[in-house]
């Protein structure tokens, strides 16, 4: 079949039976190809901080090592994505269109993080209703001046449209490994420096335990002054822990 030739049957592991999609029929995403791993984000004193690594994997192959998975949306928001990278790029095109048409009203109003998040949830839910999902978990953070002063916003939405707001969120592996750390150590009034320290702690745990994460991270922040996406950098690792050097030690069987 045409799509098999285009994709190369080896890409999906060969033996996988493809969906019944011949010429002229619509095709839907059945599973992701190039994926990014966890994104973590939290609110701090002045706004929202978001972080992730810059890798994108093709199955278990680390295919791209320097991709940006955090982007600014409009004036007040940041979006971070894990999951299928091409779907994320498609979402960025939707958001460009949205913010451009919003800008063209030229009425002094602009879409805040709440509105962008609401838009994203509808897009994700709609695509799942068409059985053609955008294979991502998205994190949306932002700050906007509201009637009650600066309003911080942090929300998440997944590929089937489950969405919620929280003080700290993490996608994928981060939900298992970073959330417990964030729950223990997060405070509403953290300074940016404290927030960076906490985020780096989470990233390091993920680097050690999530095999698809890489040691090239990006941190981004959004405050009332606007968004800043910092250039990628590495964390100092220590692999000399006795359990890293001899992981089988103490793991004695009962027979």
Kindly report the backbone phi and psi dihedral angles of residue 182, in degrees, each rounded to the nearest multiple of 5, phi listed first. -65, -40
Instruction: Tell the smallest beta-carbon distance from residue 20 to another protein (Å).
Output: 4
64/36 Cα distance (integer angstroms): 9
Instruction: Tell the smallest beta-carbon distance from residue 127 to another protein (Å).
Output: 10
Closer by beta carbon to another protein, 125 or else 208: 125
Closer by beta carbon to another protein, 76 or else 163: 163
| β strands within 158-234, DSSP E | 163-165, 168-170, 217-223, 226-229
Closer by beta carbon to another protein, 167 or else 224: 167
Among the options 29, 37, 162, 191, which is catalytic? 29
Name the DSSP letter for residue 235: -
Instruction: Tell the smallest beta-carbon distance from residue 226 to another protein (Å).
Output: 28
Instruction: Tell the smallest beta-carbon distance from residue 16 to another protein (Å).
Output: 6
Would you tell me which residues interact with another protein (CB under 8 A)? 1, 12-13, 15-20, 28-33, 58-61, 121, 125, 128-129, 131, 133, 156, 159-166, 175-176, 179
Q: Is 99 a catalytic residue?
A: no
| β strands within 56-135, DSSP E | 56-58, 61-64, 70-73, 77-84
Closer by beta carbon to another protein, 71 or else 114: 114
83/66 Cα distance (integer angstroms): 16
Kindly report the backbone phi and psi dihedral angles of residue 34, in degrees, each rounded to the nearest multiple of 5, phi listed first. -100, 120
Active site residues: 29
């Amino acid at each position: 079949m045409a799509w098999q030739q285009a994709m190369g049957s080896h890409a999906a592991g060969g033996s996988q039976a493809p969906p019944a999609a011949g010429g002229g029929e619509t095709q839907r995403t059945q599973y992701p190809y190039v994926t990014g791993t966890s994104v973590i984000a939290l609110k701090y004193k002045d706004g929202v901080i978001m972080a992730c690594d810059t890798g994108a994997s093709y199955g278990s192959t680390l295919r791209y090592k320097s991709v940006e998975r955090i982007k600014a949306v409009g004036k007040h928001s940041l979006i971070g994505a894990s999951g299928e990278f091409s779907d994320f790029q498609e979402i960025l095109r939707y958001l460009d269109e949205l913010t451009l048409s919003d800008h063209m009203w030229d009425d002094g109003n602009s879409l805040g993080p709440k509105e962008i998040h609401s838009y994203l949830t509808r897009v994700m839910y709609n695509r799942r209703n068409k059985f053609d999902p955008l294979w991502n978990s998205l994190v949306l953070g932002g700050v906007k001046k509201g009637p009650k002063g600066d309003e911080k916003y942090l929300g998440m939405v997944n590929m089937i449209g489950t969405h919620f707001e929280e003080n700290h969120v993490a996608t994928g592996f981060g939900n298992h490994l970073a959330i417990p750390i964030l729950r223990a150590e997060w405070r509403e009034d953290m300074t940016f420096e404290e927030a960076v320290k906490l985020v780096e702690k989470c990233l390091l745990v993920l680097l050690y335990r999530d095999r698809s994460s890489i040691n090239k991270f990006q941190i981004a922040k959004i405050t009332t002054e606007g968004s800043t996406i910092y250039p990628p950098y590495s964390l100092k690792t220590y692999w000399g822990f006795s359990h890293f050097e001899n992981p089988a030690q103490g793991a004695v069987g009962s027979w």
